[in-house]
């Protein structure tokens, strides 16, 4: 029901949808700067439409909402030249890459006073010291969503993805760094290794277990799981919790070997037509009530300390270890980092995985 309401509300707002229903039938915003138009570039269903509507009404502006299906596709579009986006939402490691390649505008902190509401642990991150270019939006964990009715048992390890009894019933993320990172952690390596031999071992492991892999899903693994097409899926926490709300047989777990923590961020791409309006929007999102609305709607973890302290976040979510992990699990989570020149080893390995698995 949440997803249906999302699509209805997004349609009513006239925002862009991933299947091509857009306000101006274009895959990119109009590039002519317009003071009362804000162009957002985000994952699909990754915000509460009511927050967008409230911003439009408060500031008398129009929001265009365009979507991407991977951090790499976001990077590719903006690297070719910003077609007119004012705010984008890249993950942590991609922020670092975009900073290094001068793809982001430096933020004016005077226009974003609500940054004070962010949990101190999320300030000054390694990918953007001083938060000069990025502001935390939502944080996630990568884990396994599964149908307990079909598994007949609780799942607690990445090894379940390659268990022969789930042959042809597993989907993995169609995301190079997250999928390779999770497998590297299972094999006992860092998800940020620059060692080509370790990266190749992760490649070989995936190809060896290709019979288990039904699909590489572009952030749609939760749908495959909910529809019964797979029994287990590697997915982001919030995506699984969204479908768990409508299917009591579904579960989510952070594997015992550890996993990846991801912080999605709000940034302003270089050349944004409306930088000040973009900063006004970022500040609006950081208001405790709005931050809580977003987290409650998409079931992701909020970095907004005030929203949590004021108990604006749903109590059920705050108690959920899959959304807000206890310390013993949190300490096993790692951020993905920019691996620099070693990216070519990941690119080569991922290409070989996709060819070798054939899905």
Task: List binding-site positions.
Answer: 93
Q: Look-up: residue for tokens 């500031």?
A: 59
Q: Look-up: residue for tokens 């091509």?
A: 20
Q: Which residues pair with 141 in a beta bridge?
A: 261
For residue 94, the tally of other CB atoms under 10 A from its CB is 26
Which tokens go with 347? Answer: 């690119």
Q: Which residues pair with 145 in a beta bridge?
A: 233, 252
Residue ranges at the known binding site for spermidine: 93
- Residue 299's region, left for phi above 0, alpha for psi from -120 to 50, else beta, is left
User: CA 160 to CA 251: how far, in whole Å?
Assistant: 14
User: CA 317 to CA 306: how far, in whole Å?
Assistant: 16
Q: Per residue in 125-140, is it b (16+ CB within 10 Å) or e — as a string?
A: bebbeebebbbbbbbb
User: CA 136 to CA 261: how far, in whole Å?
Assistant: 13
Which tokens go with 211? Answer: 């019979």
Burial of residue 181 (CB within 10 Å: 0-12, 13-18, 19+) is buried
For residue 96, the tally of other CB atoms under 10 A from its CB is 22
Closest by CA to 268, choosing from 127, 119, 131, 120, is 131
E strands, the chain, where?
37-43, 62-68, 87-88, 135-147, 170-173, 213-217, 232-236, 250-253, 259-266, 333-335
User: CA 260 to CA 262: how far, in whole Å?
Assistant: 6
């Amino acid at each position: 029901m949440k997803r249906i309401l999302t699509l209805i509300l997004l349609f009513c707002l006239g925002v862009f949808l991933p299947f091509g229903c857009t306000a101006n039938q274009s895959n990119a915003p109009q590039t002519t700067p317009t003071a009362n138009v804000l162009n957002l570039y985000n994952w699909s269903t990754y915000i509460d439409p009511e927050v967008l509507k409230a911003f439009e009404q408060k500031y008398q502006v129009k929001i265009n909402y365009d979507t991407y299906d991977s951090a790499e596709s976001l990077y590719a579009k903006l690297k070719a030249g910003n077609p007119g986006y004012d705010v984008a939402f890249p993950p942590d490691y991609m922020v670092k890459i975009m900073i290094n390649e001068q793809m982001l505008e430096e933020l004016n902190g005077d226009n974003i006073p609500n940054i004070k509401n962010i949990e101190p642990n999320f300030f000054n991150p390694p990918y953007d010291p001083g938060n000069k270019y990025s502001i935390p939006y939502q944080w996630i964990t990568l884990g396994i969503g599964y149908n307990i009715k079909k598994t007949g048992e609780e799942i607690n390890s990445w090894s379940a993805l390659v268990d022969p009894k789930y042959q042809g019933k597993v989907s993995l993320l169609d995301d190079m760094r997250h999928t390779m990172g999770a497998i590297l952690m299972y094999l006992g390596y860092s998800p940020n290794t620059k060692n080509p031999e370790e990266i190749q071992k992760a490649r070989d492991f995936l190809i060896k277990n290709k019979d288990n892999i039904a699909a590489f899903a572009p952030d749609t693994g939760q749908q495959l799981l909910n529809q019964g097409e797979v029994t287990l899926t590697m997915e982001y926490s919030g995506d699984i919790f969204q479908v768990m709300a409508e299917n009591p047989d579904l579960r989510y777990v952070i594997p015992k070997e550890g996993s990846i923590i991801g912080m999605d961020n709000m940034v302003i791409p270089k050349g944004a037509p409306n930088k000040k309006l973009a900063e006004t929007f970022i500040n609006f999102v950081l208001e405790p009530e709005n931050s809580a609305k977003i987290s409650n709607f998409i079931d992701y973890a909020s970095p907004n300390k005030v929203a949590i302290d004021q108990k604006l976040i749903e109590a059920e979510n705050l108690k959920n270890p899959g959304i807000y992990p206890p310390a013993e699990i949190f300490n096993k989570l790692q951020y993905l980092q920019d691996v620099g020149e070693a990216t070519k080893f990941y690119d080569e390995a991922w290409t070989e995985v996709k060819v070798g698995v054939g899905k």
